[in-house]
Amino acid sequence: MILEYININFQFLLAKLLYAGVILFITYLLLKLRVTLVNKIFERPTSDFNKANTLKTLLLSGTRYVIYIVSVLTLLAVFDINITPMLASAGIVGLAVGFGAQNLVKDIITGFFIMFEDQFHVGDFIEVNDQVSGTVEELGLRMTTIREWSGKKFYIANSEIKTVKNYNRGHLRTVVSVSVPFEEDLQGVIRTLEKVCQNITSTHADKLIKQENGSFVEPPQIYGITDINKDERGVVFTLVAVVEPAHYWFLGREFRRVILEYFQAAGITLAYPRLHIKTTQGFESLHGITQGGAVNNS
């Protein structure tokens, strides 16, 4: 009798475990299938590649959560675990964990707003909260993943994103400043900087934004003297150019490299910290020092 009971219960448990194994296997297949289907949907060429990637990652994230939830509920049903009392007590439990879940809800809501307001896409170079900057690798329901230029990967909860600087939207203006000593010939500096702008224009014309008629929106040019007495070092000149977003950082580096080369060739020095000491006649005698260098003790 006891052996039969044990045998029956063992068979019952074995059947449940087999069902659970099948469910887990189906869950695994669905997770793989969803990736294949989503990739198939977005494999066609599109004019907005970054937006397509954003929709793709968001769809993958959302379907993953749905599959997990359905799988867990099905497993509970297989083992005859009645979820009705759980749902009935959800209100009480919800009050207990509500405060802890607030951030999760805010993350998800903020994620939807980021997407539908088109703040940034996967592949955009952004700066978040004036602290973290890098390329967006994933925009999920709960968090955004950013890869810094050094290779570091940042996981930022969507609700923590307060301000975003997107370097891949519209026209970007490269701004480069250079400081020269007060003693330099300003006209000579201007002529040299004009040559720098001509060099950038001819060498990197493909990286500058052009109008429909082929002319540049804003070619490399001297913006003018933007500061005087900068930290008591000299005069500051600023150069600007409207560039393609993908070449924003590169053009900034090129500007600085060419400026240094042309300044060296023209014998122009960059401003640097210097100490100026002024003395007036009779200064030494005030401190009891004679013109000959001996101390006057009288």
Please tell me the predicted confidence (pLDDT) of residue 298: 40
Whole-angstrom CA distances from 237 to 32, 124, 265 are 57, 30, 18
Q: What phi and psi values does residue 137 have, to the nearest 5 degrees?
A: -100, -30
Per-10-residue mean pLDDT, the chain, length 298: 54 79 89 84 62 72 83 82 62 54 78 81 87 87 87 91 84 89 93 95 90 86 86 86 86 95 94 74 50 44
Please tell me the predicted confidence (pLDDT) of residue 286: 46
Please tell me the predicted confidence (pLDDT) of residue 290: 44
Please tell me the predicted confidence (pLDDT) of residue 91: 56
Q: Cα angle at 41 between 145 and 30, to 5 degrees?
A: 75
Please tell me the predicted confidence (pLDDT) of residue 87: 56
Q: What phi and psi values does residue 81 have, to the nearest 5 degrees?
A: -90, 115
Any residues with CB less than 8 A from the CB of 245 and at least 6 apart, and which?
Answer: 125, 167, 168, 169, 172
Any residues with CB less than 8 A from the CB of 34 and at least 6 apart, and which?
Answer: 60, 63, 64, 67
Return the residue matching tokens 């087999």.
Answer: 18
Beta bridge partners of 224: 238
Return the residue matching tokens 């997770």.
Answer: 31
Please tell me the predicted confidence (pLDDT) of residue 292: 45
Nearest alpha carbon to residue 285 among 277, 296, 275, 274: 296
Please tell me the predicted confidence (pLDDT) of residue 259: 96
Do residues 28 and 64 make contact, with C-beta atoms less than 8 angstroms apart? Answer: no
DSSP letters spanning the chain: -HHHHHHHHHHHHHHHHHHHHHHHHHHHHHHHHHHHHHHHHT-S--S-HHHHHHHHHHHHHHHHHHHHHHHHHHHHHHTT---HHHHHTHHHHHHHHHHHHHHHHHHHHHHHHHHHTT---TT-EEEETTTEEEEEEEE-SSEEEEE-TTS-EEEEEGGG---EEETTSS-EEEEEEEEE-TTS-HHHHHHHHHHHHHHHHHHSGGGB-B-TTS-BSS-SEEEEEEEESGGGS-EEEEEEEEE-GGGHHHHHHHHHHHHHHHHHHHTPPPP---------TTHHHHTTB-TTS-B---
Which CATH topology does 172-266 take? Alpha-Beta Plaits (3.30.70)
| Structure token digits, residue 281 | 């006649």
Q: How, if at all, do strands 153-157 and 164-166 pair?
A: unpaired
Q: How far apart are CA 48 and CA 37, in angstroms?
A: 20
Could you tell me the maximum CA-CA distance found in the chain, to the nearest angstrom? Answer: 126
